[in-house]
Amino acid sequence: MKTSQEPDFADVALTHKQWLKSVLGLGALEAKIWVTSSAQLLALIGGIVFLLITAWLLLIASAAALAWSYGFSLVGILLAATGMTLLSAAGLLYVARITLKNMDFTRTLDALIPTNQPASESEKS
């Protein structure tokens, strides 16, 4: 016999559904905040990159004007500025490649789902 204090399965299921809906609603709210913050951060980074590029070009232009005032040829100044720009681009490309090589998720995957197979001799060396 069922007493009036015992909840039936429908009441328990309804309570769990309400709890799950509130948890999922909180997750959706957090996701909206995260997306909005990410968009703002991306816009700020875009502005910072624009200002850094402008500052770099002004630095090259200042060096070129200084060299011009000391009598260097215009062709030499432009070639030197082009070389500086290409060298800085090569440096940034090098840093980007190192960063991409370090973006390896296999360690995380191995931590979550470890492989129980011993490493073969070819993998050890």
Q: What is the pLDDT of residues 59-99, one digit of tens each?
A: 999 999 999 999 999 999 999 999 999 999 999 999 999 98
Residue 29, domain member (yes or no): yes
Supply the pLDDT for residue 117. 61
Residue 27, domain member (yes or no): yes
Residue 71, domain member (yes or no): yes
pLDDT at 119 over 70: no
Cα Dmax for the chain: 106
* CA–CA distances in Å: residue 4 to residues 8, 13, 18, 45, 72: 10, 17, 22, 61, 98
Distance between CA atoms of residues 79 and 75, nearest Å: 6
Q: For residue 27, give both structure tokens.
A: 């997750």
Residue 107 belongs to what domain range?
Answer: 9-112
Distance between CA atoms of residues 97 and 99, nearest Å: 5
87: part of which helix (H) or strand (E)? helix 74-102
Residue 4, domain member (yes or no): no
Residue 118, domain member (yes or no): no
Residue 104, domain member (yes or no): yes
Note the pTM of the prediction, 2 decimals.
Answer: 0.53
Residue 52, domain member (yes or no): yes
Name the DSSP class of 73: -
Look at the chain and report how many structural domains it folds into: 1
